[in-house]
């Protein structure tokens, strides 16, 4: 057991050691980005510095997930002028410039992962993720929804329901509560839910059973055959994606 544990630790250490670092950028290239309208993060260090390498690995992972993040690493040993230009006393040193090029943050030494991420978010180096809606943003008036669809150039997902309908309840409570489905519908459709007792829609969209789903373009024309009955999320999401492809 001890032998296995030792092998596992050595393997993990080798894996960590082998992680790539954020690639160095020449000082002149970094300088051209500073004050160009967006905040800029600059890490000054060296590949031969242990703390610098740790920072480089974390920055590489962040850059992998946020490719457009303005993160730059300057190797002070390959850019000797940097030490005097940026007043570097020790490495690693992290500097953040605001959108106008003013220095707003400086730290000497390595940062822990949580502290690094908090700093990058605080100074808007990393964009804050917008919270997704937790429910589908249903509209309940067909004419208003159609008018809105024409403005935003999105198709309508028209869900026709009624109070004492088991399949309708299933769709509302089990299918339309799925996070991926909620996000997709809110982004790509103008969702409309109408109760059978209040279905003010054109005659060709009137129904006698529920649930029924109509897929319409912004002019109210059907994009595909209407769907009758309750469906599962694995069925419904690919169907919506095909509707968008056709639209």
Provide the pLDDT for residue 201: 75
Dump pLDDT digits (tens) for 24-54.
Answer: 999 999 999 999 889 999 999 998 899 999 9
pLDDT confidence band for 202 (50 / 70 / 90): confident
Q: Give the 3-state secondary structure of residue 94.
A: strand
State the DSSP string of 137-192.
--B--HHHHHHHHHHHT--EEEEEE-TT-HHHHHIIIIITT-HHHHHHHHHH-EEE
Q: pLDDT value at position 199?
A: 63
Measured over the CA atoms of residue 222, residue 227, residue 232 and residue 238, the dihedral's sign is: negative
Helical residues (DSSP H) of 34-178, grouped into ranges: 50-65, 81-85, 113-122, 142-152, 166-170
Q: Is residue 199 part of a domain?
A: yes
Does any domain span residue 127? no
CA pair distance 35, 99, nearest whole angstrom: 5
How many CB atoms sit inside 10 A of residue 113's CB? 13
pLDDT at 222 over 90: yes
Of 89, 122, 155, which residue sits at a domain end? 122
Which residues form the domain of 192?
Answer: 142-246
Q: Are residues 156 and 186 in the same domain?
A: yes
Rounded-to-integer distance, Cα 174 and Cα 170, Å? 5
Q: Do 22 and 73 have their domain in common?
A: yes
- Of the three residues 69, 90, 122, the one that is the final residue of a domain is 122
Q: Is residue 180 domain-resident?
A: yes
Residue 131 resides in a domain: no
Residue 129 falls inside a structural domain? no
Structure-token pair, residue 44:
């000054």
Look up the pTM and report it. 0.49
Residues 24 and 85 in one domain: yes
Residues 153 and 41 grouped into a single domain: no
Shared domain check, 6 and 112: yes
1 band by pLDDT with thresholds 50, 70 and 90 = very low
The answer to whether residues 85 and 169 belong to one domain is no
Q: pLDDT at residue 207 above 60?
A: yes
Residue 111 has what pLDDT?
Answer: 95
128 inside domain: no
The answer as to whether 136 is a domain residue is no
Task: Give the chain's mean pLDDT.
Answer: 87
Sorting pLDDT into bands at 50, 70 and 90, what band is 136? Answer: very high
Structure confidence by residue, pLDDT tens digits, 170-195: 999 999 999 999 999 999 999 999 98
Look up the CATH number of the domain holding residue 206. 3.40.30.10
Higher pLDDT, 217 or 15: 217
Q: Among positive and negative, which fits the CA dihedral 41, 46, 50, 53?
A: positive
Answer whether residue 69 is part of any domain: yes
User: How many CA atoms lie less than 13 Å away from 157 in the CB half-sphere?
Assistant: 23
């Amino acid at each position: 057991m001890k032998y296995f544990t030792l092998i596992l630790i050595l393997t993990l250490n080798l894996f960590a050691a082998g992680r790539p670092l954020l690639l160095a950028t020449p000082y002149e290239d970094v300088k051209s980005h500073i004050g160009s309208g967006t905040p800029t993060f600059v890490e000054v260090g060296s590949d031969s510095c242990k703390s610098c390498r740790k920072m480089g690995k974390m920055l590489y992972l962040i850059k992998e997930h946020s490719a457009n993040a303005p993160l730059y690493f300057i190797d002070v040993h390959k850019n000797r002028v940097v030490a005097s230009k940026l007043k570097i006393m020790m490495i690693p040193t992290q500097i953040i410039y605001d959108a106008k090029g003013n220095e707003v943050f400086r730290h000497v030494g390595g940062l822990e992962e949580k502290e690094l991420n908090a700093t990058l978010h605080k100074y808007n180096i990393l964009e804050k993720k917008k919270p997704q809606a937790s429910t589908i943003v249903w509209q309940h008036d067909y004419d208003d929804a159609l008018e809105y669809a024409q403005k935003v150039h999105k198709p309508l997902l028209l869900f026709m329901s009624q109070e004492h309908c088991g399949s309708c309840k299933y769709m509302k409570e089990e299918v339309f509560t799925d996070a991926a489905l909620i996000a997709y519908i809110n982004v790509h459709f103008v969702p409309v839910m109408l109760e059978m007792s209040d279905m003010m829609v054109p005659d060709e969209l009137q129904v006698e059973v529920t649930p029924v789903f109509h897929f319409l373009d912004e002019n109210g024309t059907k994009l595909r055959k209407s769907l009758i009955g309750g469906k599962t999320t694995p069925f419904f999401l690919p169907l919506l994606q095909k509707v968008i492809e056709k639209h």
